Structure 1
Amino acid sequence: MTSPAAPLLVIGECVADIVRTDGAPDRVHPGGSPANVAYGLARLGRPAVLLTELGPDANGRLIRDHLESAGVEVRAAAVARTPSALVRLDGQGRAEYTFDIGWTLPPTDLSAAPAAIHLGSIGAVTEPGAAAVLALVERWRGRARVSYDPNVRPALMGERAAAVRRVERCVALSDLVKASDEDLDWLYPGEPVEAVAERWLTLGPSTVAVTLGAAGALALTADGRRERVAAVPVQVADTVGAGDSFMAALLDARSRGAGLAEGLTRAVTAAALTVSRPGAAPPSAAELAEAVERRAAAS
């Protein structure tokens, strides 16, 4: 294994989120699930490299500046224009997405193994770029820990059965998998989330975590452990980036040697801080530490 000080490599899309609410002007936020995870890791003090695609346009510059402001090293293949998503918020701040995106990441090599690899969302299952992503993971698996978040976007997933096969291939390559209850409900309609998590564990991961919105989160492990933590009650501004903040905090906690319950607690707390403000705005290390302390004092 590599040193924990080595950067964590995140692979996947950047997206300019055009947030639209009735009676208000559009707001453009840097987004894309993998990009949000890389940004969240850097905000927590964890070195992160993002392998992605960006266009030579205003949205591309906005996203690059945003990522680099937190310390993310951006390695971006050039594309004609930066992907975008129209994000519509309902009265509870829940987001629905309409995408203008492609994913064509070329074959890429690395000179050394990263501390860990995180993949997810559109970049992990959308061809032709997904082939390059999975080739990298297959090459370095065993020398770097792998995590995966399907972050399902139904409008881009195509036929369900084929989508499930692509997702399960990524699950089988991973040590840690995180999904939302909404992801699992789309992939496996009507199945209990714990049943799906248990089945995923048989494919190869050592840990599967599931976010449950206002009900908190749970995690199951291959050695039979079960952990569940409650959510932090907050006034929701919007839910954009909440799952990505959860993922970043969970990866950061794991890299620091935290136990499963502590990692879940830090992750749900990071998600709560993110939904309390507009856009994918994950907490800093100091903000998260303070919020975790408040949670512990109140319990």
Structure 2
Amino acid sequence: MPSSSRVVVCGPASWNQLIELDRLPEPVPHMQFARRAWHTVGGTSAGKALHLAGLGIDVRLWAPVGDDEDGARLRERLERAGVVVEAIASEQTERHVNLMADGGGRVSLYVTTPSTPSAAAVQEASTAVAAADLAVIDLSELGRMVLEAVPARGTPLWMDLHDYDGSSSFHEPFLRSAAGVFMNDDGTEDPWGLMASCLDRGPVLAVCTLGAKGAIALEADGTRHEVAAAPATVVDTNGAGDAFMAGFLAARLRTEPVEVALRAAADQARLAIETEHLHPALG
């Protein structure tokens, strides 16, 4: 596929407050002083769209966004960074408070969540997916509804399974509809086995990120790949997996082989790790 291909990303975008602490809170009454705090764009689909746009990909982000101050801030930041936002009407914009500590520890508090998308909005999004050259359908109510509505055709669908453990029923329709899947190793002690089980359900490629150890990939014919993490000065690990996936997909759109795409993905993840935002363009 040429790099001018249109990509659709469906799923969450949020307006977040990030609070950095010396340690994550214990389940007892106590007081802590934040090291620092800031507001920024969040959401796994927003992260992917930001990095795809930064790589010159024609990307459309379909996400629930409310007609409120958080939604206005969210759309302004995304559009300023080059993301075309196809906002789906919601009663409120999704908002999180993320508590973070050294070593990647994080507690995400969902303060508001989006309302259920209308049938008309789901149909619009599914039509856009069907017309795209490639689509990312993220785990969410919107994603599930789009998968059910999208007409059968040849658009390759890519899924981010996050911390999939191999048995979650919610993940199953996403997995079985996917041309390729990404995940991290948080939910498994056997990432190669987990990827193989995913490929048994239909995808032709599975990729698993291993944090500071890099990432591995398995093709349907059994070919294995490994890539080291790119050296980075860690500022914030939020969104590193989304950046990794975007970097990989952008390389594949340029018809790069899997091993080259993995190196491009590792380089893209570094961009996210070295900023306090999902992408440097938000700074």
TM range (shorter): 0.7 to 0.9
Give the one of 49, 52, 61 matched to 2:60.
49
State whether structure 2 residue 106 is matched by structure 1 residue 95.
yes
User: Could you report, residue by residue, the CA deviation over 1:97-137 in whole angstroms, capped at 9, with x for unpaired residues?
Assistant: 1113235122323266111110113x2xx3xx344221244
**Maintained 8 Å contact 1:20/1:87:** yes
Instruction: Answer with 209-218 or 269-278: which moved more.
Output: 269-278
Give the distance between the partners of 2:264 and 2:110, measured in 1 at CA: 31
State whether structure 2 residue 116 is matched by structure 1 residue 104.
yes
**Maintained 8 Å contact 2:158/2:180:** yes
**Maintained 8 Å contact 2:3/2:57:** no
1:205 corresponds in structure 2 to 203
Give the one of 179, 183, 188 matched to 1:179.
183
User: Could you report, residue by residue, the CA deviation over 1:243-288 in whole angstroms, capped at 9, with x for unpaired residues?
Assistant: 010011111011110110111111111112211221212589xxxx
1:83 corresponds in structure 2 to 94
Give the distance between the partners of 1:246 and 1:282, measured in 2 at CA: 14
Give the distance between the partners of 2:14 and 2:163, measured in 1 at CA: 15
Give me the TM-score of the superposition, normalised by structure 2: 0.85
**Maintained 8 Å contact 1:207/1:220:** yes
Q: Pairwise CA RMSD of aligned residues?
A: 2.3
**Maintained 8 Å contact 1:10/1:119:** yes
What code does the residue aligned with 1:117 have? A
User: Could you report, residue by residue, the CA deviation over 1:199-219 in whole angstroms, capped at 9, with x for unpaired residues?
Assistant: 100100010000000100000
2:268 corresponds in structure 1 to 270
What code does the residue aligned with 2:269 have? A
Give the distance between the partners of 1:105 and 1:5, measured in 2 at CA: 29
Q: 1:131 to 1:278 in 2, by over 3 A?
A: closer
* Aligned pairs for 1:14-33 within 5 A: 14-22=13-21, 23-33=34-44
Please, which runs of 5 or more residues in structure 2 have no aligned partner? 22-33
What code does the residue aligned with 1:220 have? L
Q: What is the count of residue pairs matched by the alignment? A: 263
Structure showing the higher helix proportion among its residues? 1
SS at match of 1:233: coil
Give the distance between the partners of 1:170 and 1:218, measured in 2 at CA: 21
Give the distance between the partners of 1:4 and 1:115, measured in 2 at CA: 10
State whether structure 2 residue 63 is matched by structure 1 residue 63.
no
Instruction: Answer with 15-24 or 94-103: which moved more.
Output: 94-103
Q: 1:193 to 1:103 in 2, by over 3 A?
A: farther
State whether structure 2 residue 130 is matched by structure 1 residue 115.
no
Give the distance between the partners of 1:116 and 1:136, measured in 2 at CA: 16
1:166 corresponds in structure 2 to 170
